[in-house]
Structure 1
Amino acid sequence: MSTPAPLPALRRVVTSTDEQGKAIVWIDEEAKFQDLPGSTCKASVAWVTESFPSDNQTGVDGASIPPAGISHPSGSVFRILDVPPGATFPHHYTHSIDYGVVLAGEATHTLPDGSSATLKTGDVIVQLGNVHGWSNLTSDWTRLLFVVLPSKPIEIDGKLLEGLQL
């Protein structure tokens, strides 16, 4: 049995406005993926903002801003996650609301109690800061897109949620 090929390269295009007010293509390149610690998954950060509302007149490539983990405490993170066949991304949580879309393949969203939801190409998920993980239980690669925004921490009976925070 052969190993499935990784997903095709991902192109990152960023538009902006020049000094004369003209719309321009500022960046057009192949997205850079990095290995994620503790897993065989790879991630590409397409853009990070450090505030809300964001500054659209920035001269800084948002992909060069470190997101401080999965989320940014005062801005947004736009990330692509490639998950190889049989891989798992461990249970974790962040003080964030995560908007996710399955771009290719199939991903299983898992919760600590063993419950799960399998999402297929085109499906979306809204993750409200609870502990969760991801698995690719198929023999093909999966590509997920996430937009991560900061949120208030989860508090139960006056205590903040504990666990593996990323």
Structure 2
Amino acid sequence: MQIREAAADDWPRIWPFWHRVVSAGETYTWARDTSEEAARALWTSPPKRVYVVEDETGTLVASAYLTPNYGGPAARVANAGFMVDPDHAGLGYGRALAEHVLTAAKAHGFEAMVFNSVVETNPAVGLWKSLGFTVLGTVPEAFDHPRHGRVGLHIMHKTL
């Protein structure tokens, strides 16, 4: 597996699984019918640093972005978003990418990372906890999950 910063021409390989994940409506708070143009802006607009994972065959299987969560005097707190192609889930790509992005965040001077809205039924909650994130709080019934109904959104934090 290779993890690297994304190039501009990687977007056409990110979009298919980005669209699949978001349109499923189970893990992201973005509109399920987000257009490709809007999706690209959400995922890649500066100051975001975008990373991708390629498997042994060169297939792009995951992506993440790293960005400041706040500005000004709180700019040392990072935010990130992660997506693994559902056809490649459970193979360790998400964990490897998360570890890479956490290391990159620290190298770029961030001192903490916060996730503003992690759907409480998202299997990635276990990953984040195993990497040292804690749930600071949960906004109850804030997310309309297509299978589970209304579920909470966790706010998660990790000191880097």
Q: Could you state the TM-score of these two structures normalised by the residue count of structure 1? A: 0.26
More helix by share: 2
Larger radius of gyration: 1
Flag the structure with more relative contact order, 1 or 2, with Cα contacts below 8 A and sequence separation at least 6.
1
